[in-house]
Chains A and B, each alone.
Chain A
Amino acid sequence: MLIYVLAYKLFRKEVFKIAELNQINRQGEPMIKKKSSLNSRIYQYRYLYLLTIPGLIYILIFKFVPMWGLLLAFKEYNFYTGILGSKWVGLKHFTDLFADPFFLIMLRNTIVINMLSLILFFPLPIIISLMLNEVRRAPFKRIMQSIIYLPHFLSWVVIVSLTFFMLSSNVGLVNKLLVTMNFQPVSFLTEKKFFWLLIVFQNIWKETGWGTILFLAAIAGIDVQLYEAAVMDGASRMKQIWHITLPSIRPTIVILLILRLGAIFDVGFEQVLLMANPLVRDVAEVFDTYAFTQGIQNGQMSLGIAVGFFKSLVGLTFVLSANYLAKKIGDEGIY
């Protein structure tokens, strides 16, 4: 049945494609003058299919088949009867989720972490790329770039471990310093008030350098003549940055901002999971970690899937709206 639907979809487009092919002559085979059937076209492209099929099959199996599992959000998962045999419970898991007071806490944590990230993290790659752009000596610039890109390649395990070495209450470097100066050690890792800032700062440390790549690429595309004209008019370097560089990369900044807002429900899952401990659970729990602990650790598969489904759906809505907005503003979105 599915094959017939697929064939119908493909065949419909073929008719348009043939009309198109008469006018355009790039991307693939040379112009085909005669009308060819779907089968002969597939045969014509058989080697291409040979190359492409592996990736296609992979995506089908590992990206689309799991979506079948989302049905479990509406069922009560029974380990023995599997997905199809489990009982339907409709929206029970979702209503349970919304009624749970912890839901609002998770929502709050997600939004706070993202907002803090937006305010503290988002401007930094811009600022640093501006600073890098002003560097005259190329070797210095290259060395700086090499160094700041480095944290991006570390795993969260390593970064959280480094955080532990710096901030742990008995052997962390900062606390050793405090003790040497006769202050009391502070338990950074187990007190609630530090958690959000720690998460954001880890993010800054890891991703700021990498984020400058995009902006440096945008800045490199600015026409030098604009700068020359400004210099002739007597503009200082700061004025040049303010009046030329920044406005020129404004589209990039705006698009990135919108996409960032689109990802608002995404909080670095592995990062939060590693940093969380029972003492900070109130400020650390987000939807993904909740889905994980409920689903895999507590065996509440259906509830976990429901939470994950909810989060993906809301995230999808945000991302699509964000992309729509970005397109409206004038430049292409990602798609």
Chain B
Amino acid sequence: MKGGDLLSFYKARHLTIGDYINYTLLIIVSLICIFPFIYVFSMSFTAPEVYVPLKFSLLPAKWSLESYKFILSSNSFINSLNSTLFITVVGTCLNLVFTFTAAYGLSKKAMPGHSLFMKAVVFTLVFNAGILPAYILVKNVGLLNSLWSLIIPGLTNAWSLIVVKSFMESIPPELEESARIDGCNEIGVFFRIIIPLSKASLAAFALFFAVGHWNTYFNAMIYLTDTKKWTLQVLIKSMIIDSGSVGFGGGGDETILPQETIKMAAIILSILPILVVYPFVQKYFAQGVMIGAIKG
């Protein structure tokens, strides 16, 4: 019997004071988690001119979709959305390809050179050259100011490789052997057996990689000099974090002074895709992380 049965074991009990306290505390914790969203969400519907002098209030004093209309029609937003969508979609696909193929190789201990490969991967886990040598490399390869500089240097990473490798090692070798007997080579085994069985991993890592790309800020900031290529996060950063009174002149627009509510609308829009996709993949990533956790 495992902990899962604990729930049924206790089902017969009635709620105690401790339970009520527990529930209340948990509700408070979750409210802390989502309160900033709720606030920004509701305030983003305020008419821009009303917000700044407004006294403390949780609901819009004057409803208006103007902030959203402004953002959605601005060139900078559209451009950055294009950039971000490109690197997210293309990047995630390439991530999955490189990670799963290399992890398959890593899971086959009999392959000559395996231990060398494994040691190399683990080494990159604990030591990296840092951002400056990486910058020099990107410059020398000629990827500066290209959106590919956000995809190619990050094709895979040691943690993902190790977790996916563990997962692949948990697939019974009998399936492979029976495919082998039927005349499959490794590539066949990979595509017909391993991949279909790895759907949970694929979903979890697709989510991790996609979110990573969507949230790219730093690499975009140092590698992209053309403001039209800015990703969403760089745009938001220049709008909100850089001193708001200076205005932002990036992304193909002329210098505009962003009102507070416009900034809020921008944030909500940038979070929206994540929020939309989140419920569907939620069950996958908990599994995916746990697999990695149990291995460690």
* Interface residue SS majority, chain A: helix
Q: How many of B's residues come within 8 Å of A, CB to CB? A: 114
Residues of B within 8 A of A157 (CB): 215, 217, 233-234, 236-237, 241
B109 touches A136 (CB 8 A): no
**Cα of A49 to Cα of B294 in the assembled complex, Å:** 29
**Cα of A301 to Cα of B7 in the assembled complex, Å:** 58
Known: A67-B133, A224-B6. A13 touches B121 (CB 8 A): no
**Cα of A217 to Cα of B5 in the assembled complex, Å:** 14
**Cα of A26 to Cα of B2 in the assembled complex, Å:** 30
Name the contact of B26 in the complex, choosing from A61, A135, A166, A332 (C-beta under 8 A): A135
List the one stretch of A39-47, A99-107, A114-122 in contact with chain B: A39-47
Residues of B within 8 A of A333 (CB): 296
A63 touches B7 (CB 8 A): no
B135: min CB distance to chain A, Å:
6
Determine if A17 is an interface residue (Cβ-Cβ < 8 Å): yes
A62-87 vs B: 1/0 string, CB under 8 Å?
A: 11111111101000000000010000
B187 touches A47 (CB 8 A): yes
B290 touches A131 (CB 8 A): no
A-B contact count (CB 8 A): 312
B137 touches A62 (CB 8 A): yes
Residues of A within 8 A of B110 (CB): 17, 21, 27-29, 45
A55 touches B99 (CB 8 A): yes
Q: How many of A's residues come within 8 Å of B, CB to CB? A: 120
Determine if B170 is an interface residue (Cβ-Cβ < 8 Å): no
Which of A6, A56, A138, A319 has the most C-beta atoms of chain B within 10 angstroms of its own C-beta? Answer: A56
**Cα of A316 to Cα of B130 in the assembled complex, Å:** 12
List the one stretch of B64-72, B85-93, B111-119, B247-255 in contact with chain A: B111-119
Residues of A within 8 A of B10 (CB): 136
Determine if A173 is an interface residue (Cβ-Cβ < 8 Å): yes
**Cα of A216 to Cα of B215 in the assembled complex, Å:** 27
B153 touches A51 (CB 8 A): no
Residues of A within 8 A of B54 (CB): 176
Residues of B within 8 A of A223 (CB): 1-2
Determine if B270 is an interface residue (Cβ-Cβ < 8 Å): yes
Determine if B203 is an interface residue (Cβ-Cβ < 8 Å): no
B98-126 vs A: 1/0 string, CB under 8 Å?
A: 11011111111111110111001110111
- Which residues from 169 to 192 on chain A have a C-beta closer than 8 Å to any C-beta of chain B? 170-171, 173, 176-177, 179-180
A320 touches B133 (CB 8 A): no
Residues of B within 8 A of A128 (CB): 26, 29
A48 touches B105 (CB 8 A): yes
**Cα of A265 to Cα of B183 in the assembled complex, Å:** 52
Determine if B142 is an interface residue (Cβ-Cβ < 8 Å): no
Q: Who on chain B is nearest to A237 by CB?
A: B18
B117 touches A66 (CB 8 A): no
Which of A60, A162, A177, A304 has the most C-beta atoms of chain B within 10 angstroms of its own C-beta? Answer: A162
Determine if A254 is an interface residue (Cβ-Cβ < 8 Å): no
B26: min CB distance to chain A, Å:
5
Apart from A10-B113, A144-B27, 15 more pairs, CB < 8 Å: A48-B111, A48-B186, A55-B155, A68-B133, A69-B137, A135-B22, A146-B279, A153-B274, A155-B233, A157-B217, A160-B241, A161-B237, A171-B51, A177-B56, A288-B131
Top 4 A-B pairs, shortest CB-CB distance:
A55-B102, A52-B105, A69-B133, A28-B110
Chain A to chain B contacts (Cβ below 8 Å), 8 pairs = A26-B173, A52-B102, A150-B33, A161-B237, A164-B240, A217-B294, A221-B2, A224-B6
